Structures are given as structure tokens and as C-alpha cells.
Amino acid sequence: MPSIECREIYFSYRRSDPVLKGVSLSASPGEMLGIVGPNGAGKSTLIRIMAGLLKPQNGSVLLEGLMLHGLASDDRARRIAYVPQDYHLVFPFTVMDVVLSGRYAHGALKIFETREDRVIAGRVLKWTGLENLADRKFEDLSGGERQRAVLAAALAQEPELMLLDEPTSSLDVNHADNLMALLDRLCSDQGLTVIMAVHDLSLASAWCNRLGFLDQGRMNALGEPARVLSFDRLKSVYGDSVKRLDLDGRIVIAPRGKRNTNA
């Protein structure tokens, strides 16, 4: 049974044109699925619908066969974790506080975290390489450390499905690659299902098992990265501004650049 399945999702914000027009997809346990596409294609909206934060006007989302939007909020949070694009705290909480906030759904009526919560928080801090920064204020962290702390909080939810909205957008190449490697390890070792909206097509094709290509609210293609990022599709969506290179079996999507234009 797929971990999550979207059937014919339609969604529009207020009275504007539909952002998603009949999107269907499914992902299996242990899979890393990347949602790619140009700006405004509906990637973040789709992620937020799958996270249960938005309700589609039409269509349904099934989580292991159960209707997602019928689940209680804490039940949903024990199955799905969501990593937003921006994470902003008003008050100076520590990294440990942020990570422990991920344990809320496992004891929603409790005022204090349990010993088990602490053990799990310690474990995910280790996975994300933040064990030495547990008492550091979140606002004092670098961009890469922050992203890992937010990921650690999501992992502390012990989810079966992890949804990420542009997780690498504020990271340099090395940190982005490390983050993807960590997610890949969690998929293969723990059977975690990962679905993420990604802008960086090269990164997405390097790490994701499959890609879903969203364009103008429709799922243009879904499958192997090499097939989804075809020359024709890239050209029709991005125009002549990108170039696909195949290097040692890897796909690299490069901007055409000044030199090429002049050539």
C-alpha cells in the first residue's frame, strides 16, 4: 500500500484561479519523491495539502488508506512531519526546545515531556549532527544549522512521511548535499517516505528516486528523473534559458549563461 496517495486534487486560494488542477500522485515507503517545476506551479501548495495544512476543494488525500483530512490533528502529526521553507521564532528558544516541540503529538495532554521524549530528541540531534548545539539559542545558529534543527524537530515526531518545502533553498552546495544524504539514509534505513518541493533540478535528480513535474497546476510528468527532465520538457517549461548536461550518468541542469548567449 502506498504511504500517501493524492487523487485528483483541485485547490484555489479564495477567488483566484485554481493553483492545482487535478493532481494525482502516490509515494511508497522508503521512497524519496521530488516535486519540481517553475515558480508558481503549485509545489508548496501541494506539499501543504499533503501535510493537512490546507484542504483541497476537490479530490482526496489518503494516508495508508485513511482519509487524511478526517484524522485528528495529533494523530496526523504522529504520521506526517512538515518542514516549512521559513522557520521563525518570536522568543529565544534553544535548539533542544525546538526539537522537543516535535514531541507534542506523542503526549498532547502532558505539560512536561517524558523521559522517552528526551531520549528521542537526543537521538535526532545526533542524526542531524547537532548534539553539541542543543543548548544554543535557535536564533544564534547559521542557516545550515537552523535547517538541520528544524529537520530534527520534524524527525522527533517519528513520522512515516516527511514533507519538506524547499529544504535546501538557504543552503550552500555542500550543506544541501549533506541534507539530501541524511534524508536518503533515513529513507533506506528507516523506511521513511520523503516528499519535497525542490527548485534545484540537479540536486533533485541526483537524490530523488522519482520526480513529479508540476506546471501550471498540473502534474506534467511523474517518474524517473532522467525521463521527467527530458530536453523537450525543460525547453517547453523553461524556454531556452536552461541546458541539460549528462555527466557520468548524472543529470546537471545548467543556466545558459552569458557566454553561451553570445556564442
Partner 1 sequence: MLDMDKTRRKLVLACILGGLWLLACGLSGLLIGSTSIDIVRALNGSGPDAQILLVARLPRVLLAALTGGALASAGVGFQALLRNPLATPFTLGVSSGASLGAASAILLGLDTALLGSAAVPLFALAGAGLAVAVVYMLARRRGSLLSTNTLLLAGVCLAFFFGAVMLFLHYLADFGNSYRMIRWLMGSLDITDIMVPLKVFVLTIIGFILLYSNSRRLNVMSAGEEVAQSRGIDVDKVQRRIYFSGSLLTASVVAATGPIGFVGLVVPHVVRMFTGPDHRVLLPASFFAGAGFLILCDLLARVLIAPTEIPVGVITAILGGPFLVWLLRRQVEN
Find the binder of partner 1 among 26, 58, 101, 170 (CB under 8 A). Answer: 101
Let me know: does 30 contact 188? Beta carbons within 8 Å.
yes
Q: Select from 31-39, 47-55, 59-67, 243-251 the region that touches partner 1 (CB under 8 A).
A: 47-55
Cell of 133: 548545539
CB within 8 A of 245, min separation 6: which ones?
A: 251, 252, 253, 254
Counting contacts by CB under 8 A, is residue 57 touching partner 1? no
By beta-carbon proximity to partner 1, the closer residue of 116 and 172 is 116
Report if residue 231 touches partner 1, rule: CB under 8 A: no
Tell me whether residue 72 or residue 245 sits nearer to partner 1 (CB atom).
Answer: 72
CB of 167 to partner 1, least distance (A): 14
- For residue 165, which amino acid is it? D
Cell representation of residue 94: 534553544
Report the site for partner 1 in 62-81 (rule: CB under 8 A): 73-78, 80-81
| Closest CB to partner 1 among residues 64, 113 | 113
* Burial of 22 per CB tally in 10 Å (0-12, 13-18, 19+): middle
Q: Which three cell numbers stand for residue 21?
A: 488542477
Among 9, 23, 33, 51, contact with partner 1 (rule: CB under 8 A): 51
181 binds partner 1 (CB under 8 A): no
Of 49, 50, 98, 164, which one interacts with partner 1 (CB under 8 A)? 98
Give long-range contacts, CB 8 A cutoff, 24+ apart: 76-80: 76/52, 77/104, 77/105, 77/157, 77/159, 78/105, 78/106, 78/157, 78/158, 78/159, 79/159, 79/160, 79/161, 80/50, 80/51, 80/52, 80/157, 80/159, 80/160, 80/161, 80/162, 80/163
Give the residue with the Cβ less far from partner 1, 87 or 230.
87
Q: Does residue number 15 form part of the binding site for partner 1 (CB under 8 A)?
A: no
Q: Does 198 bind partner 1 (CB under 8 A)?
A: no
Q: Which residues bind partner 1 (CB under 8 A)?
A: 48, 51-53, 73-78, 80-82, 84, 87-94, 96-98, 101-102, 104-105, 108, 110-115, 117-119, 121, 134, 157
